[in-house]
Amino acid sequence: MVNVSFERGGIKLFSKFNQVLAKSAIAVCLVAGLSMTNQSKATEVINLTAIDGYSSKSMWVREFISFYIPEINKGLAKTGNYKIKWNQAWGGQIVKPKGVLGALQKGLGDIGVVTTVFHSDKVPLQMVAYATPFVTNDPLLLAKTVDGLVEKHPQFKAAFKKFNQHYLTNGAVLATYNIFSKKQIKTMGDMKGVKIGTAGLNALWLKNTGAVAVKGSLVKYHNWLGRGVVGGIMLWTESVVNRKMYEVAPYMLKSDLGTANSKAITMNDKSWNKLPGEVKKVISTASIAYRDQLARVAIDVATKKRAAFSAKGGTVSVLSQSERQKWARTMPNTAIAWADRLEKKGIPGKSILTEYMDSMRAANQPILRQWDKE
């Protein structure tokens, strides 16, 4: 078809066919240009080193590898804008268990699992569960409650900032602490004079029980028990079975002392600040998923590993409820002492303690001692 228009001085012909051809050519060029732009847009690769002094025998490292990293990778794959190349250094390749906080501070790793129980003086707010035994055996409830306090009270994150770290979440990796020993223990009276290995603040749980607390760590216990350095340990069943401690501590006293958030996932501040906003968001979301995964696995493996302990020849005794109540009453009030130390540093320890206990009461936890009300 030909479109004709009249102008002064003559006739000007416009071909619609030609116009269509011109428009089509422009469209093809635009599409081709867009295609070339997409092809030339490369995925940005970010290198991150993940560290912990514990090996993949430890549940939280195992879940870091099998759940956390894939969760982050999956989140980034949704847009394809970024990809992380992971360098994983576990089991002392870069640092021992107690050195993760310092290693991340120095930038020896970008992201890692800090065992906070080793650093009660540096990150004291993370010790709220260690200050309040006989309160809960629910690691998922505990982990969520602690992160709720973290969001409300800036002092939680500020403690890690002092060590050049960005706090992502906490980890409650055990269902409950129990006593494992070389000789059978059935009551508090049986603990008199027995040296028991503990990892930190939970050494105070043994005060006034007659037992003697010896501070150590997970990687030392098997050797200590074998050599007679200690006669027992305060630990959770999964670690006892995984590290074959039933060979040297074949007796378990199921005392359900309580769970604890003994881990924190943090990133070196410089590493965190360099990340694009999209990557930060993905890591933050995956961190919460990892936190909840750890708690669910801790609950699941507790029962399975207790059965495995028995299958390996271990003997399980259950501490009676009256003995547990006696133990809880016998202890000094570790919670008030913890809160008082925080108050002296200008941190509202008493109100944080009350908020924590209120959360546990609201969740109908089997609390044996109202630590904040004494």
Q: What is the pLDDT along the chain (374 residues), one digit of tens a residue?
A: 333 332 333 333 334 434 544 454 444 444 444 444 444 469 999 999 999 999 998 999 999 999 999 999 999 999 999 999 999 999 999 999 999 999 999 999 999 999 999 999 999 999 999 999 999 999 999 999 999 999 999 999 999 999 999 999 999 999 999 999 999 999 999 999 999 999 878 999 999 999 999 999 888 999 999 999 999 999 999 999 999 999 999 999 999 999 999 999 999 999 999 999 999 999 999 999 999 999 999 999 998 999 999 999 999 999 999 999 999 999 999 999 999 999 999 999 999 999 999 999 999 999 999 999 99
CATH code, domain carrying 239: 3.40.190.170
CA of 102: how far to CAs of 6, 51, 160, 169, 172, in Å?
Answer: 84, 12, 11, 18, 21
Range of the domain at 35: 2-40
Identify whether residues 97 and 242 lie together within a single domain. no
Alpha carbon distance 280, 81 (integer Å): 13
- For residues 54, 316, 207, 100, the Cα torsion angle rounded to the nearest 10 degrees is 10
Query: What span, in angstroms and rounded, lies between the C-alpha atoms of 41 and 81?
Result: 9
CB-side neighbour CA atoms (13 Å) of 99: 14
- Predicted pLDDT at 201: 84
Same domain, 279 and 364: no
Kindly state the helix (H) or strand (E) to which residue 173 belongs, with its residue range: none
pLDDT computed for residue 35 by the predictor: 42
Domain end, chosen from 298, 316, 350, is at 298
Which pLDDT belongs to residue 199?
Answer: 84
Pairs from 211-219 (Cβ < 8 Å, separation ≥ 24): 217/97, 217/98, 217/118, 218/54, 218/58, 218/97, 218/243, 219/54, 219/97
73 and 134 within one domain: yes
164 shares its domain with 208: no
Residues 235 and 325 grouped into a single domain: yes
Last residue in a domain, options 242, 274, 298: 298
CA distance 343 to 350: 7
Are 229 and 268 found together in one domain? Answer: no
Same domain? 161 vs 200: no
Clarify whether residues 224 and 342 are in a common domain. yes
| Neighbour-count burial of 278, counting CB atoms closer than 10 A to its CB (0-12 exposed, 13-18 middle, 19+ buried) | middle
Does 225 lie in the same domain as 331?
Answer: yes
Looking at the structure, tell me whether residues 29 and 148 fall in a common domain: no
**Distance (Å, whole) CA 165 – CA 178:** 32
CA dihedral 230, 214, 200, 64 (to 10 degrees): -20
Q: Is 50 found in the same domain as 126?
A: yes
Of 212, 206, 299, 214, the residue nearest 255 (C-alpha): 206
Residue 99 sits in the same domain as residue 134: yes
Domain boundary among 237, 272, 298: 298
230, two tokens? 């200690």
* Number of domains the chain is built from: 3
